[in-house]
Amino acid sequence: MTGVPEDDEQARRVWAALSSLVRRRDRRPAVSDALGMSFTRVKALLYTSREPRTGRQLATLLAIDAPYVSVIVDDLEQRGFVRREPHPTDRRAKLISVTAAGRRAAAKAERVLYLPPEVLLALPPQDLEALDRIVAKLAGSDPEPGGF
């Protein structure tokens, strides 16, 4: 930790409130309904929409085993959202790339997933700007920005 004691009650209270706020507005069921597929498949689509990934990379990002990645990619491929391509440097691996239809589906998923709650939209501009600065500072250490 950097300079903040572990028993800092105010920081714990703020973190608990932020965590609770986000959990109460869980958009995963809504995005799964909107796309007609499990949230794990939605996450795989979102990760591949950012850049082509190998099955191994997806397995790591999704915290699942390789055979399940194959099932997910098969389904996304059947839906026309991704395609498998030869890896440019590893002939044993395939790259999973998003298609145009997959890019549109990923954009729809992000619109649903990141729909702000009314209470946030109702904040005065100066409060929203302050919150934006604070959240950016908090998120600065996130290894996978926009993680799901």
pLDDT of residue 70: 95
In a domain, 62, yes or no: yes
pLDDT of residue 81: 98
Report the domain count for the chain. 1
Q: Is the pTM of this model over 0.95?
A: no
| Mean pLDDT by groups of 10 residues along the chain of 148 residues | 68 88 88 96 97 95 94 98 93 93 97 90 94 87 57
* Tokens (6 digits) for 136: 């950016």
> Packing angle between helix 39-50 and helix 55-62, nearest 10 degrees?
130
In a domain, 139, yes or no: no
In a domain, 78, yes or no: yes
Q: What CATH code is carried by the domain that includes residue 122?
A: 1.10.10.10
In a domain, 104, yes or no: yes
* Residue 45 backbone dihedrals phi, psi, to 5 degrees: -65, -45
- In angstroms, the CA 110 to CA 116 distance is 11
pLDDT of residue 19: 87
